[in-house]
Amino acid sequence: MFRSLIKIALLLVAGILVYNFFFGTNEEQENSKKVFGQIRGVVVSVGQLLKTEKEKFNAGKYDAALDKLGEAYRAIRSQAKHLDEKVIKRLDELENRKAELERELNEIEANDLENASPALKKKDPKVEKERAAKLADQLKRKEELLRELETLVNDSDSLLQDAGNK
């Protein structure tokens, strides 16, 4: 419900801005131009932020953690004959979560490459707005994946402690 209210409010604000831009007084048109200029600045900033995140992503920000988890899982699996069945089931679950994270990270990387360069030389505001929204969604999903990765690491630590105590 809260999201619906925010969406309605944003649509209302956008409608007022567009109306003022075309049909408002000179002062209202100037204010609308300023707001659109600021929105463009935000879009550019988000684009720069995503470019930086992409560089970090390409540098292996997530890969190193996933590789370490994979090594830990292999070590546990090699000692599986000495482990409790519950530990093995948890290990399977963690490996599945790791695989899902890797798949999603690869999808995001592919989408980053797709969205990195604008399709048109002449910048269409509608296309740029859609592109900025996609980039913002990508950034939000990366943040979620990072939190999921941290949770996975914590769960893996817990598993390693449990396996070490047995």
Reply yes or no on whether the pLDDT at 147 is more than 50. Answer: yes
Return phi, psi of residue 130, to 5°.
-65, -40
Residue 27's pLDDT is what?
A: 92
Are the C-beta atoms of residues 145 and 62 closer than 8 Å to each other?
A: yes
| Percentage of the residues of the chain whose pLDDT score is greater than 70 | 80
Picking from 112, 125, 120, 107, the residue whose alpha carbon sits closest to that of residue 52 is 112
Overall average pLDDT of the 21-25 stretch: 88
Angle CA(52)–CA(55)–CA(61) in degrees, nearest 5? Answer: 110
For residue 122, give both structure tokens: 């002449």
- How far is residue 156's CA from residue 70's CA, in Å, rounded to a whole number? 10
Q: What is the pLDDT of residue 117?
A: 53
The residue type at 31: N
pTM equals 0.53
Specify the pLDDT at position 58. Answer: 63
Longest alpha-carbon distance in the chain: 79
Look at residue 58 and give its three-state secondary structure: helix
For tokens 């619906």, the residue is 4
pLDDT for residue 151 is more than 50: yes
